[in-house]
Amino acid sequence: MKTSIVILTHNQLAITQLCIESIRKYTSLPYEIIVTDNGSTDETVGWLQEQDDIRTLFNQENLGFAKGCNQGLKIADGDYILFLNNDTIVTTGWLEAMLRTLESDPKIGMVGPVTNYVSGRQLIQVNYTEIDQLEQFAAQHAAAYRGMSYESERLVGFCLCVKRSVIEEVNGFDERFGLGNYEDDDLCLRIRRRGYTLHIVQDSFIHHFGHMTMKILQDSNLTELLAVNRVKAAEKWGDDIFNLIYRQPAPVTLIMILEHNSTPEDLAAIEGLRAVADEIIIWNKSTNVEHLVEAKRIADRVVQSFEETRIYSSKEFLLLLSSSEHINDDGLRLLDGLKRTIGNHIEGVRMTIVSNEAGAEAATDRFRMVRRERLLGWDPASKQLIPFNAGAALHSGIVVHVN
């Protein structure tokens, strides 16, 4: 298993050399280094061309962080992709610790280390004052926090280690953010929207000089770039990006229509939806007494009409399913991600209903999840909920399979 380390450069050769030399010294697992140079005018290009162990891409101008990272991603052949700022110095065991956490749970999509300079939860206190003291501190810190990590809503882009399958699923960085800022927040949000989690790896420490490339910009230009990109993020997501990143998961009431022809497997599947449903209301349409007994055991409440579901549901969103339908593991992952990242402006969520009719597969889009306070009603013919404003909708990519 190989890791592709993607680094961007724009002048500042001495800093880049420190970074790459530390990778060579402290990385024992298989890796490749890919450097995208964004229009350097100093000796950086010449030095990179002399390095036999570095794959290089050269842009004639600064195309920005997102574009440069995507260029590196395109030629990477590793099983893991690690985006690393050039103003960093890695330490013993840095990569091993991140990969250990990344592979500890299939739901973990991306991880990052702790550091001395960053905004957010990855910042830790350090006691070294010179670079030659760095390795001793890092070794002691790694030993104290061996195997420890914790989930975070956000990781900062100075070092991001992501499973290749995950970064490909979200199609890399969004290049609308130009030179940089907010593209890492946007990536974190998109990965979490797909139902994956982010983790901070406590036993991986990287020294970060901080904003070395951005310091080339005048303060006024950097301030303007931050403001412009925050607006771009809000326009894309329909809300301030930090409101979405730090929002609490939206609680969901599952309204399950219990059909007369339901099987024991169907009823068992309803119970399995507790992982994503904060409340279960079973709308009983079955005359089978055994079904009713089991429904009362599984559900928070059993009702006899849609009107009753509206009266007794209490959560932010309503999710409608029939006992003859199921959502597979990938769909449940997407639903979990949606709960964690859905914006306050979204009233309805579309899902794809896939059935087999006369031997042919048919797929239709339906509103199956609606904000409770914005529910207009339901359409029994199409089995979908109706939001007040169908334009304030999101297509989730979740597939509901009809048995």
Contacting residues for 171 by C-beta, under 8 A, at least 6 apart: none
**Residues 388 and 363 both lie in one domain:** yes
Amino acid occupying residue 227: A
Report the DSSP beta bridge partners of residue 291: none
pLDDT tens per residue across span 287-306: 888 888 888 999 999 999 99
Total structural domains within the chain: 2
**Residues 158 and 182 both lie in one domain:** yes
**Residues 326 and 391 both lie in one domain:** yes
Residue 211: pLDDT band with limits 50, 70, 90: low
Q: Phi first, then psi: what are they for 48, rounded to 5°? A: -60, -40
Least confident of 27-36, 162-171, 210-219: 210-219
Q: Which of 206, 221, 246 is the last residue of a domain?
A: 246
Q: Which of 221, 246, 271 is the last residue of a domain?
A: 246
**Residues 142 and 263 both lie in one domain:** no
Longest Cα–Cα distance of the chain, Å, equals 81
pLDDT at 218: 53
**Residues 241 and 256 both lie in one domain:** no
**Residues 155 and 273 both lie in one domain:** no
pLDDT tens per residue across span 69-112: 999 999 999 999 999 999 999 999 999 999 999 999 999 999 99
Report the DSSP beta bridge partners of residue 159: 84
| Average pLDDT over all residues of the chain | 94
**Residues 126 and 22 both lie in one domain:** yes
Task: Output the DSSP codes for 365-381.
Answer: EEEEEEEGGGEEEEETT
**Residues 270 and 211 both lie in one domain:** no
Contacting residues for 177 by C-beta, under 8 A, at least 6 apart: 64, 65, 66, 183, 186, 229, 232, 233
**Residues 264 and 192 both lie in one domain:** no
Q: Determine the Cα–Cα distance for residues 11 and 48; give it in Å rounded to an integer.
A: 11
The model's pTM: 0.94
Residue pair 276/339 in contact by the 8 Å Cβ criterion: yes
Q: Determine the Cα–Cα distance for residues 178 and 194; give it in Å rounded to an integer.
A: 24
**Residues 139 and 198 both lie in one domain:** yes
Domain that holds residue 367: 252-402
Q: Which of 246, 274, 309 is the last residue of a domain?
A: 246
Q: How many CB atoms lie within 10 A of CB 46?
A: 10
Q: Determine the Cα–Cα distance for residues 63 and 252; give it in Å rounded to an integer.
A: 42
Q: Which of 67, 14, 12 is nearest to 36 (CA)?
A: 67
Task: Output the DSSP codes for 233-295.
Answer: HHHHHTS-HHHHHTPPPPPEEEEEEE-TT--HHHHHHHHHGGGT-SEEEEEE----HHHHHHH
Report, as an integer, the average pLDDT of 166-195: 96
pLDDT tens per residue across span 220-271: 577 888 899 999 999 999 999 999 999 999 999 999 999 888 888 888 888 8
Specify the length of the chain in residues: 403
**Residues 184 and 124 both lie in one domain:** yes
pLDDT at 216: 55
Residue pair 177/232 in contact by the 8 Å Cβ criterion: yes
**Residues 217 and 257 both lie in one domain:** no
| Domain at 82, CATH number | 3.90.550.10
Report, as an integer, the average pLDDT of 355-373: 87
Q: Phi first, then psi: what are they for 217, rounded to 5°? A: -75, 150
DSSP 8-state secondary structure symbol assigned to residue 34: E
